[in-house]
Structure 1
Amino acid sequence: MPILEKTEMIVNAAGRSVPETVNGRPQAAYMGVGKYQPFGRKAAPPICSTADYPANGDKRVADLETALRKCGLRDGMVISSHHHLRDGDR
């Protein structure tokens, strides 16, 4: 029978005690809305959060050219649109 280790508990922003580690991996306790800034990469893209966008949440730009420049489009990438917006494939 495995021996259970004592887990350290921390209090999150909601006032609840949560484990500091789960299955041997450190966990980030809830810090409040918009307080936690994730870091690192998953498979390839950087991890994003709402903290990466303007405070008012508006990510829109003035025109398509500006959007394409900001999105980091590189040689070999493909742009597509939702199939309902294409007006058919003629």
Structure 2
Amino acid sequence: MPVRAPQEIYGYEALAHNVVSSELNITATYAWVEGKYTKNDEYLGAKQISAPKGTININWQPLGDANVSLTYLYVGDRKRFDLVDGEYVGDKGPIGSYL
């Protein structure tokens, strides 16, 4: 059932871009968001809030029309919820980090 309760969502996102040379540039990002239902101080599930995420992208253009790109993705932990009768409910389960 949909929950129609006030929510507070907060977080930040950062982006850094560096042009090393005319052939090489690097971009890095990081985002972290959290949120709760304000009435009962309960964390929002994964439908509304994603785990922390970071990326690094390296672009190299060795020749005129040739482009090589390398991307690294990191997704962090989000373990805010407890078991209910021995199970996680809906989108309220732990997320383990991965690369």
What TM-score do you get using the length of structure 1 for normalisation? Answer: 0.25
What's the TM-score, normalizing by structure 2?
A: 0.24
Name the structure where helix makes up a greater proportion of residues: 1
Report 1 or 2 for greater relative contact order, CA contacts < 8 Å, sequence distance ≥ 6.
2
Which structure's CA Rg is the greater one? 1
